[in-house]
Amino acid sequence: MPWTPAAKRYNVRLILLTLLYGVFLTSAVYGFKHHLVGGALAWIVAILPALPLIGVFAAMGRYLVEEQDEYVRMLLVRQMLWAMGFALSCATVWGFLEGFDLIRHIDGYWIVAAWYFGQGIGACVNRVTLGARVACS
Amino acid sequence: MREQSHARGSGGVLVMENRLRVLRAERNWSQGDLAERLEVSRQSVNAIETGKYDPSLPLAFRIAELFGLAIEDVFVSPSRAN
């Protein structure tokens, strides 16, 4: 696994954002469960857990920009394309199934989980076709 | 057919043949040594050597300059390979 300087910085950002996500999500769940928030504050608290996840997307973009090793960068792009294709495919199929009342509704943020899972698929494809691994797989 | 002489990388994409492994061996360098000199990962050197990845033009020039050769002495032009 090539731990380039850019990959190390990305991992530090990822850890910090994950911790922040945990704090925000726990706080939001607690706040809503105990009816501590309302009005405009409720909107802010509800959106808070989304911000670190958006930050992860930004961190990945920054990693792509900062990564100096062009081969590693290509692996990352391939991985992200797999993730995007998988997540959008899941959303499309689920949308039609739900539209025809064949399955229940799920919250939209699960598309992020599908995207992360797609990253794993992309990493496996890189591993199988190129024998390669990248730091964020 | 000319295309049949070219190496094929991931997904069947044609890749350039190169003399990187030979040039490296002549200098008794490991893949890690070459990677360090080029400031890329060892994985990158391995991918280029094994024909899984074609380097960009700037990296190809860096490789050629490191060995003190012209770029066409390291990489085989796809139109001239046979």
On the question of pLDDT at B11 being above 60, the answer is no
**Cβ pairs A/B, distance under 8 A:** 38
Q: How far is A130 from chain B (nearest CA, A)?
A: 7
On the question of pLDDT at B14 being above 90, the answer is no
A2 in contact with chain B, both atoms CB, cutoff 8 A: yes
On the question of pLDDT at B1 being above 60, the answer is no
A81 in contact with chain B, both atoms CB, cutoff 8 A: no
A130/B47 CB distance under 8 A: yes
Alpha-carbon distance of A53 to A134, in angstroms, equals 20
Whether the predicted interface score ipTM is above 0.85: no
Average pLDDT of chain B, as a whole number: 84
B44/A4 CB distance under 8 A: no
Helix A5-33 vs helix A39-47: crossing angle, to nearest 10: 150
Q: How far is A126 from chain B (nearest CA, A)?
A: 9
Q: What would the mean pLDDT of B65-81 be, rounded to a whole number?
A: 88
CA nearest to B36, candidates A137, A4, A11: A4
Q: Tell me: the pLDDT tens digits for A44-69? A: 999 999 999 999 999 999 999 999 99
Q: Taking the C-alpha atoms of B31, B36, B37 and B39 in order, what is their torsion angle to the nearest 10 degrees?
A: 120
Residue A49, both tokens: 């857990």
Helix A50-66 vs helix A70-99: crossing angle, to nearest 10: 150
A79 in contact with chain B, both atoms CB, cutoff 8 A: no
**Is the separation of the CB atoms in B43 and B49 below 8 Å?**
no
On the question of pLDDT at B6 being above 90, the answer is no
Main-chain phi, psi angles of A19, to 5 degrees: -65, -45
The number of CA neighbours under 13 Å toward the Cβ of A90 is 18
Alpha-carbon distance of A115 to A118, in angstroms, equals 5
How much is the pTM? Answer: 0.81
Q: How far is B10 from chain A (nearest CA, A)?
A: 6
The count of other CB atoms within 10 Å of the CB of residue A103 is 12
Q: Which of A72, A129, A133 lies nearest to residue B44, judging by beta carbons?
A: A72
Q: Tell me: the pLDDT tens digits for A70-121? A: 999 999 999 999 999 999 999 999 999 999 999 999 999 999 999 999 999 9
- Contact list in A for residue B56 (CB cut-off 8 A) is 70
